[in-house]
Structure 1
Amino acid sequence: MKEIDAEKFKEIVKRGMEFLFQDRLLLNKINVFPVADGDTGDNLTHTLMPVYEQIDEMSEPRLDDLAARLAAGMLMSAKGNSGVIFSQFFFSFAKALKGKATIGPADFSLAMEKAVNETYASIAQPKEGTILTVLRHSAKEFKRLAMEGELYHVIFEKVIIKAKEILEKTRDILPQLKKAKVVDAGGLGFFLFFKGMAAAVQGGREYPPGADCGAFDQVPQTVEASEWAFCAEWVFRPRGRGKDFFMAQLKKWGDSLLIAGDADMLHLHIHTDSPESVEKELFRHGEIVSRKVDSLLEPRPHCPDIGIALIMDSAVDIPEQAEKTWGITIVPLQILLNDRYCRDRFEIGKEELYRRMRSEKDLVVKTSQPVPLDFKTAFESALSRKKQVLFFSLSSRLSGSYQNAMASLRSLPAADQARVRIIDTRNVSAGSGLLLCSAVQLLQQGRDLDQTVAEIESRRQEVVSLGYVESLEYAVRGGRLPPLAGSVTRLLGIKPLVAFENGVLVKKGMLFSDRNKEKKVVHRFLKKLELGKAYSVGVVYTDNPQAALLLEDELARSTLKISSIYQVVGAAVLGAHAGPGTFCLFALADN
């Protein structure tokens, strides 16, 4: 093979991703650097899977156009240190292909070299002995062979040998890996990806997935806890500022700082104790498109003082760290994307769903209740760990989730049924989440299961909500509204306001402009509250984290007494009804 065209490039990239996916758990297992949080495989899969699922439908005839589309997708879905580095490498590689409909080995090697250089430059403190070292030596070997006139099949075969050799050396280069006696997980991820590409280039020759991984399958011997509290990421549209500016501004807030992308769109990653400080800096200089903040600290023991297993369906929104701390099991709703079902949060993340709804104009999104088997499995697993189980469902008037949970419960032995309680929250998203948080507080205060259920069910109508809907287009697409409704509101510039009352979504007026929308919604929301009381508040957003910041700022400037507040990306069921651009406020008065 002398040239790679767009169709062949699709084939080799897809094969590379498949090789990586098949060893996801191994990558998690050996993950030590920069923190031993066991998620390198998950993060690389999260980065690549949205692209993988769409690659067969991509029809760009030119290689440069195809590579640019793949790179843009990876940049948006990148997650974790390794995922953002990988997306930056591919982004720079694609940029170097501009103007090329096909590519030979020499140009391929130059694109790799440029990608390596730009990837190093995107990291505040690049470390050798990591994926960077494997990338650099692989690109160097590729260039040497290309300059000698070798064809692709020979080059890929020999680069695999060099990449494996360098990968084995990473355990002796980086002190953390030397202590743990493992190779770099990100470096192994790239090796697997490149090995899959080689399998496609070689045609008939097979490189079985995982065949060379036995030597790397080691349990880390010694790991170090992170000195930082959070791993934080933002996808961000800067206003007139480049990478160097943000690198200089943000490095004081933590380490593992890397910035992928270019002047049009950046993906920032940092380990920090103060994600809010980083976010405020970004807010001053552009538009935040999406955010992710995960705790790097060891979670506290799972509800050590309540003895009850907690389960919720995926339409309930609480902070991700609370899910981990309380050991909550999630039963996924089913999301129908045109004609394909996905398990909510397991097969498609909330951020990815909203990105696709915004970008794919023909995408129809619907939701349906979890399958009964998922409930049965969750109940049986929870009962094997705890004496009692408490399940939280979104409103039975919005979905069949509650009914399916009850049906699954009835399939269990009578003795097990007596140990399970199911709460129909008559709410959704953070409305259900605030009730769950209140239930945990009651259990921690010593209430028994039945007392807690009775009190939570008595307080369901006390949840106050108000939401802003950017467009009725998505409700029209999903068949929940007639096309005329979408046309009229779009023509008049009307922005509907909604709330959840008595378990259903109801109209609560409208705005005639999106100007100062956050301020206007907060003003109306406060009128629904008793300002002498203290409230727990949930701020829910979709693909608009900047709106969440403005909402929280407006609430902070008000006279409302807020005992606790959290921000969270809204559940898929919310987005399926209201679409991207939606945001909601929920409040529950303290006892």
Structure 2
Amino acid sequence: MQSSMDVINGRDFRRMIAGAYGAFMREHEYINSLNVFPVPDGDTGTNMLLTLGAVAKAVAEAPDEGIGSLARRGADSAIMGARGNSGVILSQLLRGIARGLSGKDTATAAEVGKAFQYGVLYAYRAVARPVEGTILTVAKGIAKGTHRAVRDRVAFADILTEAISAGQEELKRTPDLLPALKAAGVVDAGGQGLIVFLAGCLEGLEGRFSGPEADFGRTLTISGMTAEVTIAHPYCTEFVVKRFAASKAEVKRQLEQMGDSLVLAPGEGILKVHIHTAHPGAVLESAIAWGTLHDIKIDNMSDQHRQTLETAEEAQVRSGLAVISVVSGEGLANIMRQMGADIVITGGQTMNPPVEEFVAAIHNSSAETYIILPNNKNIVLAAAQAKKLLGDDRVAIVPTTNVPQGLAAVLAFDAQRDLADNLARMAEAQAAVKSASLTIAVRDSLVNGQKVPEGAYIGVIDGSVAVWADGLSAALTQVVKQLVEPDTGIVSLYYGAELDEAEAKVLAAGLAEQLDAVEIEVYFGGQPHYQFIISVE
């Protein structure tokens, strides 16, 4: 049956995108809550909201009137603004829609329906290894529903309604396809996001706006981000000691009393030192007794707090090859720089950087080639999208999925070697790392047949909840014991923003009593949500 909604124009498209954005503003927190594990960093809804926000702003401000050119502007903005895996997949959905509408001022309901089918195809292709029970299962259901409705030659509002209905049926099946979803008692978050997108498009098309009014100048508040901090040790102090003639243990003993975020990197006859301190002069005065001092660098971190990228002056480009690393937390960012990352992008759990940030970092630096370390499984697709935009000759990726892997990879980097050699060395180093993290369960859940209560401390290994305990010390001991082996020499603990140095050291001392012949090292990470990130070597 035909209707007055037979032909869709640019104004209709604007309303659909505005409606979708409004729907995400209303629903993104619910989507975030559909997290498989009870960790406090579900961010699928936030990533899709921020991605769609870039689209809605571009479409609202565009002078274009044709549906094809508006769709193209929206797709381009989505690709550059895509955050996290879900945001990249959404950007590819919009890219496919733009392809289907290319060159059109208006489009029939059937043409727009087919464009949405293109979108689903592009979204599916964005994932290298599609897994059933995820957003892709819902996308396929939407494509089938759209195809049936287009074949029946109905109005576009009816096409959207059929697509939503078919997607919802597939969404209900996702727990049966992925045991982790069933155990958590949730449906797939990304799939729910697609349903919200289509429902918002339908609301906008029909003029039923029920989300908050769009405000593109507003700043989204994301848990774990604070505007101002007081830094107890504000001076980031770095230097090299040549003709090093002291004991590393003695140096460590002295410096631990002068600050935090201490990193000692010994070499043959040299020692590289990194420390955050309130008294850099006292540090240097002590260091004079250890050898000769070189490459002294002191930065006031209060002036640098929350910089998204290092400035061009700080980026140390090495022979045309540079490393870009993504981390969350002031301490981790500084350690990553100290270990050899040329550019550090702020991001991680709940704070996935957009594709545009990678592109801007590369455009604003002067290296010929860049190696990206995502350090989070939800940032890998955004890094891959940046690589696609900039070309294989400029960007390579070592797909690190956590910070310890990233640290191991950057330590294996050698600017004097070529790209292929570095990629092989960094991948090998990444694969050898054993890591875990500790956080607090945000809801009751079922893990390995056991009920984990809200508020318990949980240890996560390889993306799965491995242990839980009522106390942080007990959880820390349990998770580390799962990782250590007879030949383990060092356990590195990076403590988060919710702990102070004294608390971290007490917990480390308790852990040391449980482990024989294993050295425990404690560093300030400053990461939100996670009390500890743990590396075992």
Instruction: Give the shorter-chain TM-score range.
Output: 0.3 to 0.5
Q: TM-score, normalised by structure 1?
A: 0.42
Higher relative contact order (CA 8 A, sep 6+): 2
Q: TM-score, normalised by structure 2?
A: 0.45
